[in-house]
Structure 1
Amino acid sequence: MGTRTRTRRTTVAAVAAVAALALAPGCTLSQTGEGDGKDAGGGRVLAVKIDNVGPARPQTGLDAADVVYAEQVEAGLSRLMAVYAGKLPPVIGPVRSARETDLELLRQFDDPALVFSGAQSKLLPLISAAPLRQLSPGKAPGNAYFRGSDKPAPHNLFVRPKALDADTGDGGLGSTGFSFGPRPKGGTPERERTVRFPAARFTFTWAAEQKRWLVSMDGTRARTADGRTLGASTVVVQYVKVRESRFHDRGGNNTPFTETVGSGKARVLRDGRAYEARWERPLPQDGTEFTTADKGEPLPFAKGQVWVVYAKAA
């Protein structure tokens, strides 16, 4: 595979290419029609921790994210991290607290901004030491956060991202390691895929007429607060090690840590087909590269929103 420091060797040509990209309708992801786009740079991302339990749904602004990461938290539940690199929606939320997993995940981005409601006291020093910009309520402009009236606390905290002056840029996703391009050969037809956490589940159903995978969470079709159906052009089920961390919630439940650095198996869904894949991220500052399981060739994603679900490896 060769050296893995490509994500930090941005060339002037790559930056120019990213700046010239045309976006797919309704999509803010900076993606080329073909090729990999891995070395793109010159932008920042805004990452928002989003609540994902029943009382928090439907969420707001999630359909505008370029990438949505789904991770396991305490008691086997799930939480989302939505990453925005281009156009920002007016409101995003509900915003919830950060986890140790987020800090390692965000190391792949250059100077990312993290929107979160807070964190347990023992984690705060790690957040302060991480190479990111903290945009929690105490460190954001006074008009950036507000409490909504249609959900109970603590599931009612929202953010106005444009008030944060986050300075996002289309090149911000260039360090993810993702590649985009035409559908590769092979794969097997797939209509539906379910990923289960101990107390949560995600189901992705292929909608050929929409050319995307419709998202269901815990058995219910996912929609935004304004009624838009959530759907992904590409879904990545990434099998990782999920272990106990040194942190616990107030109820004494251990906070799981998802290891996103390393290598392992993955299943990539695009265009109604499933591809067995390998993932590799040697260092925290590297992006995650996905290759075909049989030949080790780059596995391109379809243009549009990407969902990455971290499933526990067997």
Structure 2
Amino acid sequence: MAEASGVRRRKRGAGTGSRTTRRTVLTAATAALTGAVLPSCRMGEESGGQGASPFTGEQGRGAHVLAVKVDNVPAARPHTGLEHADIVYTEQVEAGLSRILAVFASRIPATVGPVRSARESDIELLRQFGEPALAFSGVQRTLLPTLEASPLHLLPPAELGDGYARDPARRAPHNLYLRARRAERAARGASAPRDIGFRFGAAPEGGRRTAQETVRYPAARFTFTWSPDRRRWHVAMDGVPARTRGHGRLAPATVVIQYVTVRQSRYRDSSGSVTPYTETLGSGEALVLRDGRAYEARWSRLSPGQGTVFTDARGGRRLSFARGQVWISLVRKD
């Protein structure tokens, strides 16, 4: 997708709510470097305690929410920093390929990447986090006004030049990396982690035993294989074990396959392919994987500011996730 020539970032004055805007040049910098919220609830046994992250159920919340748009074609692998993400979303992009949106808060790694461009549906997905920061390499020119009007704290290379670097050992555009700690320091006005609907605790009753589940996009696939030794789901991408630089296999504790509407947007990439829009508002079916079992579920998110609630498909009770990293694959419903 062609990147835009500029992104305007809103600056919020501390305690005043004042907002100013300014335009910057994105293409040159990249080339050179490159509603209502859910009611609050007490964090008790189900969610991990007062100091626990609302995203993982583990101790340590972090100060700000930082989302990073990550490339996921074979040339972009192995990734860097994904093992530290609290939540990893996968979604369909042009030509049936997949892309990753990684959400960090409790642990901010030194480097994340490779970083790629944002999409319109990222705005809707991220609204449940409040006003998070979003790091991305660029954006289609015609999408700029919509992105700039959003409440996200935008951190493209033009806004954070010293926060990005190119890896000379890789080919562009698959070699742009975010200095994530620098980005998190620059996003002081970004929202702190808050309840987005997840619950953590003991495994619910029922479910079916499963050793492996696969998520398919038109031109990509993810396979999640249960590891009894690690008590995690090993990830494979397009049939190849997914590893990160220096940190071994990617292995989330919980995997959610969330069935959503994926429709055409009004945007196209530079080759003419229509950009899909993934809808994350509404309700639908899901499959929750934890502890070697699969649970039929329902998901519901009724307004942009609300989190996504996952319940048992039969009884309607909230489904508890295993504590640790959560992967959510947003997949077109039948």
TM-score (norm 1): 0.88
SS in 2 for 1:239: strand
CA contact (8 A) 1:188 1:275 kept: yes
SS in 2 for 1:295: coil
1:182 corresponds to which of 202, 206, 209: 202
Does the alignment pair 1:150 with 2:176?
A: no
1:278 corresponds to which of 281, 298, 306: 298
For structure 1, which runs of at least 5 residues remain unmatched after alignment?
34-40
Change (3 A) 1:276 1:123: same
Letter of the aligned partner of 2:171 in structure 1?
Answer: P
Q: Report the counterpart of residue 178 of structure 2 in structure 1.
A: 159
SS in 1 for 2:278: strand
Superposition pairs of residues 34-113 of structure 1, within 5 angstroms? 43-113=63-133
Tell me the CA shift for residue 14 of structure 1. Answer: 5.7
CA contact (8 A) 1:145 1:158 kept: yes
Change (3 A) 1:179 1:232: same
Q: Report the counterpart of residue 300 of structure 1 in structure 2.
A: 320
* Distance of 1:206 and 1:174 partners within structure 2: 29
Superposition pairs of residues 21-36 of structure 1, within 5 angstroms? 21=51, 29-31=55-57
TM-score (norm 2): 0.83
* Distance of 2:205 and 2:188 partners within structure 1: 34
Letter of the aligned partner of 2:331 in structure 1?
Answer: A
Change (3 A) 1:214 1:14: closer
Letter of the aligned partner of 1:175 in structure 2?
Answer: D
Change (3 A) 1:122 1:6: closer
Letter of the aligned partner of 1:109 in structure 2?
Answer: F
For structure 2, which runs of at least 5 residues remain unmatched after alignment?
1-34
CA contact (8 A) 1:84 1:168 kept: no
Change (3 A) 1:294 1:238: same
4+ long deviations beyond 3 Å: 17-20, 166-169
SS in 2 for 1:31: coil
CA contact (8 A) 2:116 2:136 kept: yes
* Distance of 2:231 and 2:294 partners within structure 1: 14
CA contact (8 A) 1:21 1:30 kept: no
Over the residues paired in the alignment, what is the CA RMSD in angstroms? Answer: 2.4
Q: Report the counterpart of residue 36 of structure 1 in structure 2.
A: none
CA contact (8 A) 1:289 1:298 kept: yes
CA contact (8 A) 1:59 1:225 kept: yes
